[in-house]
Amino acid sequence: MLRITELARKTGASVDEVHYLEKKGFIQSIKTRLKAREVRHFQDTDVRKVELIIKYRRQGFTWDVAFEKSEQEMNKPTLFDQR
């Protein structure tokens, strides 16, 4: 599990962009209490999703289109899939 700053660093996104992706419902955090504050944690699988969304955003696509394209790419079978 990754904190928001770790997710941002690994994906090239800003913390604000990660917050926005969460607000839009593209990714979901697991919130835990750490003393007096709430900390967000993200799954390791969110790294690839955020990388792809940010890649498409940097290419000029809207957030919604970038999300759709990332979903398509993540669901596309690869040569190494065993079915």
Whether pTM > 0.85 for this model: the answer is no
Q: How far is CA 11 from CA 30, 33, 37, 83, in A?
A: 18, 25, 25, 30
Q: With contact defined as beta carbons under 8 Å apart, do 1 and 30 qualify? A: yes
Residue listed under structure tokens 């759709």:
68
The per-residue pLDDT for range 5-20, each reduced to its tens digit, is: 999 999 999 999 999 9
Domains of the chain: 2-72 (1.10.1660.10)
Tell me: the pLDDT tens digits for 14-73? 999 999 999 999 999 999 888 888 888 999 989 999 999 999 999 999 999 999 999 999
